[in-house]
Copies of this chain bind each other. A is one copy, B any other.
Amino acid sequence: MTSLIDIARELGLSKSTVSRALRGMPGISRATVEAVRGVAERDGYIPSLAASGLTTGRHHAIGVVVPSLRRWFYASVVSGIDAALAEANYDVVLFDLSRGGGEERLFHRSLLRRRVDGLIVLSTDFAAEEQRQLDEVGLPAIGVGGPTHGMPRVGVDDHAVVVTATRHLIELGHRRIGLVGGVDMEGLNSKVPEIRSAAFVDTLAEAGIELRDEWMLSGGYRFGQAKHAIERLLASGEELPTALLCTSDEMAAGVMFALQAAGVVVPDEVSVIGIDGHDYAEALGLTTVQQEPEQQGRDAAGWVLAHLVAGAGDWPDVPSAPFELVVRSTTAAPPPGD
């Protein structure tokens, strides 16, 4: 394991010179720089992050807290984070909350042990005590996705997203609109499901459209649960709505599957709109309100990095997260007479 001192000795230099040469600092002659680099290369020198971290306090890693990696949205965000950090030679240290133990555990792990220089938190609200500890260590922290109490956040305005989706249906002429929403059990403390549901209710009310209890379906943010919810509705013999707003594309896929199986034609008999911009949406020709989780991850990573170079005082601007209605072939005007 070659270290600085090995190189220094071999070249008859001092550690400091070698260190400077390797890091491209000014004030070292061209010749020595090349010599040092040469030997370092030849001997396969690899600097120790632990050692430099110990002296500089910078560990070149960012902690990423995620409710569940198995969710498309979170996986995409993490992917974006990793991509952005890789460019800056930073690593991501992952904390998956989806297993038992949850947050409690989190703080016994290295989150607070000066392993990471910053924190990105996906859709997770910490308890007050945890917040306090976090503040104490003074790590720059930012949230992505659902609102995170007490920190800046990159994420779409979920209310606006749902309003956009709902209005699209209303503008097409629908007045009998159902919701496939519910609570994401793996989403943990995220308030996104509530926000989305509430936005739907508000928008209908605003438009003077009646809300029907039997059309408020719970899909649990899962393909299978959404599918079942529709199957139950179908089996109940209740009247169908002419449009269904699904608060995630994955649920929309389940809904379409169930509808199709029952011979209900989309969009002729019922329109379906999703939210998120999942890969499936395109494959299914699903109308959706699309957001860019990967970009949000990149942006959050960029923010933390910027904060790190700017120093603790300067808070860079939090990037905004755009969304967009993408109209495809699952939404249309309601059947005549409705």
Point out residues on A near B: beta carbons under 8 Å: 44, 46-51, 53-54, 59-61, 64, 68-70, 72, 75-76, 78-79, 82-83, 86, 89, 91-96, 98-99, 101, 105, 108-110, 112-115, 133, 136-137, 222-224, 227-228, 254, 256-257, 260-261, 279-280, 282-284
Contact = CB atoms under 8 A, between A and B. Distances in A.
B61 A93 contact: yes
A189 B89 CA distance: 24
B110 A82 contact: no
Contacts of A105: 86
B96 A94 contact: no
Contacts of A223: 279-280, 283
A99 B113 contact: no
A328 to B, nearest CB: 13
User: Main SS of chain A's interface residues?
Assistant: helix
A110 B98 contact: no
A141 B198 CA distance: 49
Given A49-B113, A224-B284, 9 more contacts: A46-B137, A47-B113, A48-B114, A49-B115, A50-B115, A51-B54, A89-B109, A223-B279, A257-B260
Contacts of A46: 112-114, 137
B94 A115 contact: no
A63 to B, nearest CB: 9
A108 B92 contact: no
A79 B61 contact: no
10 contacts: A44-B133, A48-B114, A49-B115, A50-B59, A61-B93, A69-B82, A70-B75, A70-B79, A79-B99, A91-B109
A64 B51 CA distance: 22
Contacts of A257: 256-257, 260, 284
